[in-house]
Structure 1
Amino acid sequence: MRTTVAIIGAGPAGLFLSHLLHLHGVDSVVLERRDRDYCERRQRAGVVEHGVAEALRESGLGRRMDREGFRHDGIELRFDGRGHRIDFPDLTGRHVMIWAQTEIVKDLIARRLADGGQILFEAEATAVEGVESERPRVRFASPEGDEDVLECDYVVACDGFHGIGRTSLPEEVVSTYDKVYPFAWLGILADVPPSCDELIYARHERGFALHSMRSETVSRLYLQVPAETDTAAWSDDRIWSELAARFELADGAWKLGTGPITDKSITPMRSFVTEPMRHGRLFLAGDAAHIVPPTGAKGLNLAMRDVMLLAEGLRRRYAEGDTAGLDAYSDTALRRVWRAEHFSYWMTSLMHTDPAATPFDNRMQRSYLEHIAACRPAAAQLAENYTGLPEV
């Protein structure tokens, strides 16, 4: 097989890149080891930055998001039994959208297939070869179990932390930076209308909690738990009781709605960066290059920003013969990546209870939360990073 750009991974990053390249007249093939149903059901992020939401709209993919998603103009920080709202438009002039990654993927798959795009499901990439040549290739196992080869001009790996893309970079050119946190998130989906209009980030002495939503009838909630937690140890009653305790306000003015829990999962907390994000004609994007703890809502958005950069670089390469954008990709992307890494680390450290924390550490957390609640510039810094910095 032959194409211009071989894309490994049919997550939102790989699919969005394929869609943007199509709009620029550049052909691509997407290889995905899972089947379509799995891709469209996989639960992931739900917060879309202002700039990423605009990019979806501009590329013709925003209609259902605007009709069925939620525009959020702020978040609530809850601590010491009090709530404080961070007003995004007032502080930054921007907002975010609550629109599940699963829905973005559904729209992208439908649009790529309608446009005649090639997405090969159940096609697992097994090797990336020749990336230092002008004709790299990806070996993959077809759904029938046969080996095939996809030849191309460029390879973009959007295949996640455990994919083949990152491990295809020569060890001698790669540097990695890693931090593993001593806690995880127990996440649930529940058939109950959201108990709030915007996300609640709660710091409690028993651990962090987050209240989010997926629709007008489905809530998405998280609890900080020890890193080695098994979901089997948490009954539905225990989950609801713990969530209620961590979200409780001192004046009793807010009540958590409960309902049937339809899904439970554990999300490890990790920060990770690979440098560089390009070697020869192989480019890394999204989780293949970087991981952030989900507290800052940056994982999906960083991945989408990566491929927006790549799409423009590839457009210039084929429309103008200019490779400057591709040559600068890694350095440009990493500036945003490290800003997001810091923000995600900061939010995680601010809102979670560290099992090794001293009383001094806990007082420092509370002091900074009080500072954000009382100081407009401090609140604005949080809002600017959360809604997405336009340029980094």
Structure 2
Amino acid sequence: MLELNKGKLLYTFEQCQQCGICSAVCPENAISLSLRKDGLHDIEIGTERCIACGKCVKSCPANKEYNYEGYFDGFEQKKYFLGYHADNRIRRESSSGGICKTLIIDSLKNSVVDGVYSLRCTDSFPFARGEFYTRENLPSFGDMPNSVYHSVMACTEIGRIQPCKRLMLVGTACQLRALNSVIKGKCDEIIRVCIFCKQQKTLDSTRFLAKVMGTSVPQNLRFRPRYRGDGWPGIVRVDESELPWNRAAQIPFGKRLWTVPGCNVCGDSFGIEAGADISLMDPWCIRPHNDLGETLVTVHTPEGGRLLQRCASLILKPQSFSEVEPALSLKDVWRKQVTEPVFRGKPYKERYVRAVRAELNQQRLLRMVVEKLPRLPIICYRILAKLPDLRNLILK
């Protein structure tokens, strides 16, 4: 998070959501990014160059606070689909059936939009960067990454966005909020696709998974990761070693270990406050393991519904709220929202303060166990994953 205090620009790493928008909008190149050992970036401010214009502060998504009143109103009336690409090979190789990639490619091919800002694969860490796609710069399915479970500064390439009539933005809620702040005047209409997100991860999460696989992430970060694909919920791979994703996710995601600190000050997992037309998420709890995969799509606006209808390569199966409710994680999103003020350092209800303290202490203990001890048998990780979640017990 960035703020101006008496004309001086101040940076708070603990609330930084790692979007990179600040460095992209700085007119004096006074903000640089410094890679940390955990794969995140520190923001370094060149005080001799900074003119205290405030552009970075205005664009920073961590500065935008919401009270979330009425956030969950209307979820029972929203439209839901289980969707996937009609081609089984693409469906199998992509994350959760390939919906996100299909939306991007079909929307450009069919002139639903003129441009899309999303991610492109790269050969070096973090193995993805922001990209502006058009019909002339049409991506293939292989050009775009599957799910990425380490942080990517997705907004650093906004200079690539060219003026167009209809623009699609694809990203997590914090990335969409950052992009919203800089696209005025670049397009007439905007369609926003939110990648449902409760917690981005540091590279230490991938290091842990590599250890479980019997390999490691090299210090020079020259390795080949792959997150998801090959069915549902798919696999995670580090170079030639791989692990089923349902086993891989139990500790890092189930216990919220190695979470990007700035994620604690965001409770907008569906991107509703960022203006999302649709949200894309994994169908946890409602779909069994299978060799193909699908995405749970939540439609927030009529424009989002029209977008889906115009993508000919998609197979969409309507679902009722009762059918998808277990996958929506509404209770967990609520927990994030009520604890957000505590992470921002504001006075708040004692119960929520106790919940945050318990969560942080439990995370420290679990990280110590899994990082300091040699590789544990899989059964040990399963036991750790089933330990009671202290935060959730307090917030019942």
TM bin (shorter chain): under 0.3
- Greater share of strand: 1
Bigger CA radius of gyration: 1
Higher helix share: 1
The TM-score with structure 1 as length reference comes to 0.27
